[in-house]
Amino acid sequence: MAGSNAVWGIDIGQCALKAMRCSLGEDGKTLVAEEFDYIEYPKILTQPDANPEQLVSEALQQFLSSHSLKDTRVAISVSGQSGLSRFIKLPPVEPKKIPDIVKYEAKQQIPFALEDVIWDYQALFGGGGTEDGLSMETEVGLFAMKRDQVFKALRPFRDAGIELDFVQLTPISIFNAVTHGVMTDIIEPADYDPDNPPESVAIISMGTDTTDLVITNGFKIWQRSIPIGGSHFTKQLTKEMKLTFAKAEHLKRNARDAEDPKAVFQAMRPTFGDMVQELQRSIGFFKSIDRKAKITSGVVLGNTVRLPGLQPYLEKNLELPIKKISQYENLSGATVVGTPKFKDNILSFAVCYGLCLQALGKSRLSTNLIPRELVTARIIRRKKPWVVAGIAVLLLGFCFNYLLHWQTWRSTHPDNYSHLESQLTSVSSTSSSFKSKDDELIGKFNALKAHGRSVVGGADSRFLVLELYAAITECLPKEEGKTPEEISELPYEERPQLNIQYIESEFFPGIDEYITPDVKERYKDFRKFLAYNESLAAGGNPTPPPAADAAEGEENLDEEPIDGGAADGGEAGPEFESPELSGPGWVIEIRGFHLHNRTVENGKEQYVINTLLKNLEQGSIELPPAPGLPPVKFSMQEMGIYYPILANEGSSPTYMVPNPDYEPPAGAQFNSSGRPGEGEGNFGGNNFNTTGDPKNSPMIGVPGYEFTVQFVWIPRTASERMELRAVQEQLATADDNSVANAGGF
pLDDT for position 167? 94
232 CB-near residues (< 8 Å, 6+ apart) = 209, 271, 274, 275
What are the C-alpha distances in Å from 536 to residues 522, 564, 606?
A: 21, 13, 13
Measured between alpha carbons, how far is 329 from 343 in angstroms, rounded to an integer?
A: 14
For the ranges 113-122, 242-251, 468-477, 644-653, which has the lowest average pLDDT?
Answer: 242-251
Tens of pLDDT, residues 160-176: 999 999 999 999 999 99
Measured between alpha carbons, how far is 98 from 655 in angstroms, rounded to an integer?
A: 47
522 CB-near residues (< 8 Å, 6+ apart) = 645, 646, 647
pLDDT for position 666? 65
What are the C-alpha distances in Å from 206 to residues 27, 213, 228, 428, 436?
A: 33, 9, 8, 66, 56
101 CB-near residues (< 8 Å, 6+ apart) = 90, 91, 93, 509
pLDDT for position 713? 96
What are the C-alpha distances in Å from 221 to residues 29, 142, 218, 636?
A: 22, 11, 7, 43
Tens of pLDDT, residues 664-705: 776 555 443 433 333 333 454 444 444 445 567 888 888 999
Residue 36 dihedral angles phi and psi, to the nearest 5°: -155, 165
Share of the chain above pLDDT 70, in %: 87
Tens of pLDDT, residues 688-699: 444 445 567 888
Question: How many other C-beta atoms are found inside a 10 Å radius of the C-beta of residue 607?
Answer: 23
- Helix, strand, coil fractions of the chain, as percent rounded to 5: 45, 20, 35
Measured between alpha carbons, how far is 385 from 59 in angstroms, rounded to an integer?
A: 34
Domain boundaries, the chain: 192-324, 461-551+566-653+707-715, 654-703
Averaged pLDDT for residues 429-455? 85
Contact 41/52 with Cβ under 8 angstroms?
Answer: no
Contact 201/230 with Cβ under 8 angstroms?
Answer: no
Measured between alpha carbons, how far is 608 from 611 in angstroms, rounded to an integer?
A: 5
Residue 143, strand partner residues:
85, 120
Measured between alpha carbons, how far is 589 from 132 in angstroms, rounded to an integer?
A: 28
Contact 202/390 with Cβ under 8 angstroms?
Answer: no
Contact 260/246 with Cβ under 8 angstroms?
Answer: no
pLDDT for position 686? 41
What are the C-alpha distances in Å from 721 to residues 624, 626, 628, 631, 700?
A: 11, 11, 17, 13, 48
The amino acid at 359:
A
Measured between alpha carbons, how far is 629 from 627 in angstroms, rounded to an integer?
A: 6
Measured between alpha carbons, how far is 112 from 381 in angstroms, rounded to an integer?
A: 32
Pick the CATH number of 192-324 from 3.40.1440.10, 3.30.420.40, 2.60.40.10, 3.90.1150.10: 3.30.420.40
Confidence of residue 641 (pLDDT cuts 50, 70, 90): very high
3-state secondary structure of 297: strand
Residue 329 dihedral angles phi and psi, to the nearest 5°: -65, 155
Best CA proximity match to 706, nearest among 518, 547, 500: 500
Measured between alpha carbons, how far is 30 from 331 in angstroms, rounded to an integer?
A: 6
Contact 218/188 with Cβ under 8 angstroms?
Answer: no
3-state secondary structure of 51: coil
Averaged pLDDT for residues 578-587? 90
Measured between alpha carbons, how far is 616 from 628 in angstroms, rounded to an integer?
A: 27
pLDDT for position 244? 80
Measured between alpha carbons, how far is 464 from 439 in angstroms, rounded to an integer?
A: 36
Q: What is the DSSP string of 472-541?
A: HHHHS---TT--HHHHHTS-GGG----EEEEEEEEEESSGGGT--HHHHHHHHHHHHHHHHHHHHHTT--
| First CA to last CA distance, the chain | 69
Question: How many other C-beta atoms are found inside a 10 Å radius of the C-beta of residue 635?
Answer: 14
- CA dihedral sign, ordered 235, 239, 244, 247: negative
- pTM value is 0.53
Helix (H) or strand (E) holding 592: strand 585-594
Sheet holding 322-324, edge to edge: 221-226, 211-216, 200-206, 295-301, 322-324
3-state secondary structure of 658: strand
Confidence of residue 308 (pLDDT cuts 50, 70, 90): confident
Best CA proximity match to 498, nearest among 708, 675, 299: 708
Confidence of residue 636 (pLDDT cuts 50, 70, 90): very high
Residue 147 dihedral angles phi and psi, to the nearest 5°: -60, -45
Measured between alpha carbons, how far is 606 from 526 in angstroms, rounded to an integer?
A: 10
pLDDT for position 1? 44
Q: Is the pLDDT of residue 555 over 60?
A: no
What are the C-alpha distances in Å from 24 to residues 34, 327, 333, 360?
A: 10, 18, 11, 7
Instruction: Identify the burial level of 54 via C-beta atoms within 10 angstroms of its C-beta, where 0-12 means exposed, 13-18 middle and 19 or more buried.
Output: exposed
Alpha helices (runs of H) in 182-257, residue ranges in sequence order: 230-241, 245-253
- 322-324 and 331-332 strand pairing: unpaired
Which one of 312-316, 394-398, 508-512 scores highest in mean pLDDT? 508-512
Share of the chain above pLDDT 90, in %: 35
Tens of pLDDT, residues 228-284: 888 888 888 888 888 888 788 777 777 777 777 778 788 888 888 888 999 999 999
3-state secondary structure of 707: strand
Best CA proximity match to 76, nearest among 179, 178, 7, 6: 7
Measured between alpha carbons, how far is 32 from 25 in angstroms, rounded to an integer?
A: 6
Contact 274/317 with Cβ under 8 angstroms?
Answer: no
Q: What is the mean pLDDT of the chain?
A: 83
Tens of pLDDT, residues 312-322: 888 889 889 99
Q: What is the DSSP string of 529-546?
A: HHHHHHHHHTT--BPPPH
